[in-house]
Structure 1
Amino acid sequence: MNSAPAAPLIEFQGITKTYGQGQAAFQALSGVDLSIQQGEFLAVMGPSGSGKSTAMNILGCLDTPSTGTYLFQGVHVEDLDRNQRALLRRHYLGFVFQGFNLLARTSAQENVELPLLYRGESPAARHQAALDALALVGLSGWEHHTPAELSGGQQQRVAIARAIVTRPLVLLADEPTGNLDSKRSHEIMELLVRLNQEQGITVLMVTHEPDMATYASRIVHFVDGQVASDDAQEARPC
């Protein structure tokens, strides 16, 4: 007997998002259906104003839909209050941004420890988890360097270590290679592939660069607030 397919980790059902009212109303998303299984590596693409960033903000619990259903492990996220969404972010999601967003006068290790500080973990637990996360991204030996002493690629590695130090189920990466040269961009993408394939982290990445999207196992294109295409592709090996 064939077993039933696994329930999606994340599911959008008829998600809409409208900003403003009346004549000034703008519909950023109009009836988006999207299903994401645990362990996928999804690249989200589309022109400016297509709705991709709005969709990612809703996925990351940074915004809420106007209508529709958002399920995360079967939980109705659209029904959660602000504090409950914050807890979901803190315990299940990690974020990587184009601009790194590191504290300038703080060491790499202290930057990585920050999410665990918010969770109230002990100093010893924070230190060890930060060292482990920095090792995972290839920065053992760089723990005490500040961002000014690191290259752009190394700064993004610190940012990724900070995002994964809480062992999230999902890593949301917004243009993670946007501030990097071609060589460093490919290094960061190879790192994301390893985290996806070896650590089992689901990766959702917004990118406007087609060559970066080739690292994903699936590419979703947004156009005019809707999913225009959703295509699987062969994942790159680690």
Structure 2
Amino acid sequence: MNASAPSMLISLRGITKVFGTGETAFRALKGVDFDVAEGDFVAIMGPSGSGKSTMMNILGCLDVPTAGQYLFRGHHVEELDRDQRALLRRRYLGFVFQGFNLLPRTTALENVELPLLYRGDNRRERRESAMAALDKVGLGPWAGHTPGELSGGQQQRVAIARAIVTNPQVLLADEPTGNLDSQRSVEIMELLAELNRDGITVMMVTHEPEMADFAKRIVHFRDGLIDRDLAGNGAASGAGGPGQAHAGGAA
């Protein structure tokens, strides 16, 4: 994956995903075409069973499509084996989940260090990179605190620091504000918008229209297909969030 790679970061063509076989088979995705440019901020929405979570799992290399092509910088991800997909995740992708998924008895700094430990970085490199990531999300002074000593919003910031400590090209966020109150939710979305302005491509599943409006694009899934692809308020305000006139229009 080099400088001569195409500018389109992600391209999906004819992506299908079938769970089960025979009469019990369920087609979660039914032939999805989907492009994501470098630096995009995409909110993925849709009712339960629409295929949005299945799509995020495929994008994050946590699952593979039944058929179709998944290109990451022009490379066919669907042809990679399990180890190669794991390597792609470690090098290029960061993940943020609704439930924070922090280790309860370790400090914020140690939680953020974990991906670097798995990568084999030495102790000094891990500490420096983890502190830089915590500073970036505004939690440097809380580096020595355990998750139980932090608020929900602070815990999610630690989770975001852990996701960006490896300098990923894509941040995949699954309901990142689902466990937070309104004020903390806006703070997290403003942070994601800032990270996007800094150059990280963000893809986020959410069921909250107010949070989706921070994105540059809002993609609605229904019955295993993309139903609508609209512009979010982030497109008009530099991914800065709601407050501008809506620029949406069916693609």
- TM-score between both structures, scaled by the size of structure 1: 0.96
Secondary structure of the 1:141 match is helix
Alpha-carbon separation, structure 1, partners of 2:55 and 2:140:
35
Residue 241 (structure 2) pairs with residue 219 (structure 1): no
Residue 159 (structure 2) pairs with residue 159 (structure 1): yes
Secondary structure of the 1:173 match is strand
Note the residue ranges of structure 2 that are not aligned, 5 or more in a row.
1-5, 241-251
Alpha-carbon separation, structure 2, partners of 1:134 and 1:60:
23
Alpha-carbon separation, structure 2, partners of 1:7 and 1:215:
23
Aligned length: 232
Alpha-carbon separation, structure 1, partners of 2:32 and 2:115:
31
Q: Which residue does the alignment assign to 2:229?
A: 230
In structure 1, what residue type is equivalent to 2:222?
V
Alpha-carbon separation, structure 2, partners of 1:55 and 1:20:
17
Contact 2:219 2:229 in 1 (8 A): yes
Alpha-carbon separation, structure 1, partners of 2:158 and 2:232:
29
**Aligned-residue offset at 1:70:** 0.2
Alpha-carbon separation, structure 2, partners of 1:214 and 1:51:
20
Q: Which residue does the alignment assign to 1:35?
A: 35
5 Å-filtered alignment, 1:168-183, equals: 168-183=168-183
**Aligned-residue offset at 1:232:** 1.9
Secondary structure of the 1:129 match is helix
Alpha-carbon separation, structure 2, partners of 1:231 and 1:192:
19
Contact 2:214 2:232 in 1 (8 A): no
Q: Which residue does the alignment assign to 2:22?
A: 22
Q: Which residue does the alignment assign to 2:206?
A: 207
Alpha-carbon separation, structure 2, partners of 1:233 and 1:127:
37
Secondary structure of the 2:207 match is coil
Q: Which residue does the alignment assign to 1:93?
A: 93
In structure 2, what residue type is equivalent to 1:139?
L
Alpha-carbon separation, structure 2, partners of 1:24 and 1:179:
34
Q: Which residue does the alignment assign to 1:3?
A: none
Deviates further, 19-28 or 228-237: 228-237
5 Å-filtered alignment, 1:41-52, equals: 41-52=41-52
Q: Which residue does the alignment assign to 1:69?
A: 69
Deviates further, 227-236 or 53-62: 227-236
**Aligned-residue offset at 1:55:** 0.3
Alpha-carbon separation, structure 1, partners of 2:221 and 2:77:
22
Residues 63-120 of structure 1 show CA distances to partners (whole Å, capped at 9, x for unaligned) of: 0000000000111000000000000000000000000000000000000000000000
5 Å-filtered alignment, 1:105-144, equals: 105-144=105-144
**Aligned-residue offset at 1:140:** 1.4
Alpha-carbon separation, structure 2, partners of 1:232 and 1:183:
24
Secondary structure of the 1:68 match is strand
**Aligned-residue offset at 1:129:** 0.2
Secondary structure of the 2:70 match is strand
In structure 2, what residue type is equivalent to 1:145?
H
Secondary structure of the 2:128 match is helix
Alpha-carbon separation, structure 1, partners of 2:115 and 2:29:
31
Deviates further, 112-121 or 228-237: 228-237
Alpha-carbon separation, structure 2, partners of 1:190 and 1:221:
22
Q: Percentage identity across aligned positions?
A: 67
Alpha-carbon separation, structure 2, partners of 1:26 and 1:12:
20
Alpha-carbon separation, structure 2, partners of 1:19 and 1:26:
5
**Aligned-residue offset at 1:8:** 1.1
**Aligned-residue offset at 1:135:** 0.3
Secondary structure of the 1:131 match is helix
Alpha-carbon separation, structure 1, partners of 2:13 and 2:133:
35
Alpha-carbon separation, structure 1, partners of 2:155 and 2:38:
27
